[in-house]
Chain A
């Protein structure tokens, strides 16, 4: 009940105070939460070093600042900004990519912005397979009315809307039709042939499609707006840095922080953060009691004070319950991961940087990771029984012996379970 009330207050506060933000200055770009960049490895470090030896940071700063001045602060288009910086960099004779790395290294920008710039730059520098043959394209694909309307809308808004945003809208619309979605490049060329979109738009769309600009991507406008709003709501006094939060996951090549900004609204982030805030409170609590009431619900017939480890496990169990229920209460359709809620809590400043990894590592208790040996052992267990049959006697027993050895040495990763001597 208390939780619902808090959320309600928050919603009213956000909507009534009209904090949907104006992006006021270059400070918005500044990295104020992320640690070491996930995009800058040893090779990039070398390039940065060489660049700084030849040029200097003041030049990078100047190019970035003068380019930004060309835009309305509340409506910066990453594609156009990248294009402008790219042109300036070429004028000086260096690659804009290194300039972006330098800006990130000096914390002028963070990884979310860097990723946006790099993706747009990639799309601009791309050798487009359709670009040269665009006028020679003869195959005819019939565009239905819905597709025609989508492209017409796209063309209309091309002067006011940034390509990343308009491409995402167009892609979402086209994706409704599966076959159209598979043939998007052909459809774009068809739309150009039918003069629904112009040559420049067709090229931008083809490039955006080739770098999959809609995947793992947040538009600069959306990101800066969310970030600005968050900082207004939850001011961060000391600029902490954390590596965990911008570490790229292997599967999605996406950092927990990028994912947070892409997936969730401000209110959702606040709700997620409150879960971790409560977890930390529970973990630090020095007393938790269970009260058992009588049949009438009036008199307490038993008071059970939780032991130290019971409190710890209670805190984790409560967290898991909250995480499960989040998807049914406030974030319908979402399945927030533990990383998501940690990223939200850190972004809002509910947990300190030095505690992020500690809290993240608790996950191993209910979601244990298999070691390489465990993976190997489970494979042998699966195939070993067949092996005992296939291998002729007397060597079959060796396989049985191997199976026994594996059984004895491998301790299966088990989820956190409460022992019999404990309530939780």
Chain B
């Protein structure tokens, strides 16, 4: 008994200590934004055997118990990567943004490899509904459905498994406009050139022998014919050279993890119930602020075969961007990144957080977002007039 009493403090100390010593493979970014797997300690774990932490519990599918450290390698990598980066994101909101709300958030359940759709009344939609892949979602809390035995739930982050889908099945908007334009201009130039040459050779025909004129004309017209053939078959050529499958392992992409946690952090004003360009844009900007790069889910081909998002992409405003179908375009991210460069890195985290308080999920880009930016700048910018003018100038250049 005495012996047991002597060991008790040691046992208690062991249990209460964070799990040190054990390292996990985690997908991380190098300073040059390359994706590498590194052995890393995981912070704030409260279990020595499972991914159960002070702030996050990582589970598989619709399970409620955390993933074991003895799971298979792939699942282990996913669990460790999500756990690690969620803590990075949380730390950013607590220490940099100084969000009291995030600081006091209860433990969040994080689901990996979950294909079930979200159902507002029962959390998990019926299995018969088509499964979902290649995305991540942050679900809002629900009151449950007591008569069906479904209890209330809190916010959760779901990472879908990867499934390679043929690009034709996705009905993606064609992004070949630029390539097509290039072909068209080239074709016009070649036709114009051959026509001019042909006219010149006709004018000089009196000095040529009959065979020479024929040969020259055939050469000239031949160039035009070849060009036309090339132009008419451009679609199969583009198809042949472009990517054919889309697949994304969201749980292994740090910026996607930051993006999802940002939804959690901003959910007091930006409701999780619907996808909007504003919701996504703000989550995107926080994702870039946490990662320190203007790109999201790029340079990581192993886990994402899609283009990813680029804050520096030059694109003009289109009214379609207001539509929820375009919620995941990077236009809002581009605007917010531009603002970052105007207001300065120091103010940006607070600026974006304050901005999120000025708007809501129903806000539009054209009016509400800009109004919010103006008001936030009046409140936080060092030189509100000059910086607002810089912002408006930038927006005007983006055809806003």
Contact = CB atoms under 8 A, between A and B. Distances in A.
A288 interface: no
A397 B223 contact: yes
A385 B196 CA distance: 9
Contacts of B370: 307-309
B98 interface: no
A74 to B, nearest CB: 39
B366 A362 contact: no
A65 to B, nearest CB: 39
A12 to B, nearest CB: 33
B396 A365 contact: yes
Interface stretch (A26-34, A95-103, A142-150, A402-410): A402-410
A84 B35 CA distance: 75
A388 B191 CA distance: 11
Contact of B185 (A365, A389, A408, A416): A408
A401 interface: yes
B393 interface: yes
A389 B193 contact: yes
Contact of B186 (A283, A358, A364, A401): A401
B358 to A, nearest CB: 13
Contacts of B213: none
Interface in B189-238: 189-190, 192-193, 196-197, 200, 219-220, 223
Interface in B298-357: 317, 319
A359 B383 CA distance: 13
Contacts of B395: 309, 312
B166 interface: no
A181 B185 CA distance: 55
B371 interface: yes
A407 B185 contact: yes
Interface string A37-77: 00000000000000000000000000000000000000000
Contacts of A359: 389
A283 B395 CA distance: 14
Contact of B399 (A284, A312, A354, A419): A419
Contact of B386 (A358, A397, A421): A358
- Would you call the interface of chain A mostly helix, strand, loop, or mixed? helix
A283 B319 CA distance: 24
Contacts of A358: 385-386, 389-390
Nearest to B373: A308
Nearest to B389: A358
B22 interface: no
Interface string A352-388: 0011001101101100000000000000000001001
A131 interface: no
B390 to A, nearest CB: 7
A141 interface: no
A312 B182 contact: no
A96 to B, nearest CB: 40
Interface residues of B, number: 35
B189 A404 contact: yes
Interface in A386-400: 388-389, 393, 396-397, 399-400
A226 interface: no
B190 A397 contact: yes
B189 A284 contact: no
Contacts of B396: 309, 312-313, 365, 416
Nearest to B383: A354
A401 B190 CA distance: 9
B393 A421 contact: no
B189 A355 contact: no
B367 interface: yes
Contacts of A401: 186, 189
Nearest to A352: B385
A364 B197 CA distance: 42
Contacts of B189: 388, 400-401, 403-404
Given A307-B367, A354-B386, A312 B196 contact: no
Contacts of A408: 178, 181-182, 185
Nearest to B181: A408
Contacts of B367: 307-308
B139 to A, nearest CB: 33
B392 interface: yes
B374 A308 contact: yes
B400 interface: yes
Interface string B44-71: 0000000000000000000000000000
A313 to B, nearest CB: 7
A388 B193 contact: yes
A400 B190 contact: yes
A291 to B, nearest CB: 20
Interface of A: 280, 283-284, 307-309, 312-313, 354-355, 358-359, 361-362, 364-365, 385, 388-389, 393, 396-397, 399-401, 403-404, 407-408, 416, 419, 421
Given A308-B370, A309-B395, 12 more contacts: A284-B385, A309-B366, A309-B392, A309-B396, A365-B396, A385-B196, A389-B200, A396-B197, A397-B190, A397-B223, A404-B186, A421-B319
11 contacts: A280-B385, A308-B370, A313-B396, A354-B383, A354-B386, A361-B389, A388-B196, A393-B197, A408-B181, A421-B317, A421-B366
Q: Which 6 A-B pairs have the closest CB atoms?
A: A308-B370, A400-B189, A358-B386, A388-B193, A404-B186, A312-B392
Interface of B: 178, 181-182, 185-186, 189-190, 192-193, 196-197, 200, 219-220, 223, 317, 319, 366-367, 370-371, 374, 383, 385-386, 388-390, 392-393, 395-397, 399-400
